[in-house]
Amino acid sequence: MNQAELENKLQDNLDALQNLRFQKSLQQLENPLGIKVLRRENAQIKTVLREFDLGLRTERSEK
């Protein structure tokens, strides 16, 4: 994924995480493990974005 796709995915995940937190506070959350999974995925995306900023990772051309 390129930087723009990662940023879009991160924003979508942040919105989904907020929704899950609302469901948890209203005691309507069916799978509380989903919060942990989203938080982990967000951390991984932020790590990759930071690697792009530092120049440790470059965008590959897609075939």
> Which residues, in sequence order, are CB contacts of 41 under 8 Å at separation 6+?
13
- State pTM to two decimals: 0.87
In-domain check, residue 25: yes
In-domain check, residue 59: no
In-domain check, residue 61: no
Handedness of CA 21, 25, 30, 32 (dihedral sign): positive
Domain with residue 11: its CATH number is 1.10.287
Show the domain range for 34: 3-54
In-domain check, residue 10: yes
> Which residues, in sequence order, are CB contacts of 48 under 8 Å at separation 6+?
6, 57
In-domain check, residue 11: yes
Give the pLDDT score at 1.
Answer: 87
> What percentage of the chain carries pLDDT values higher than 70?
95
In-domain check, residue 21: yes
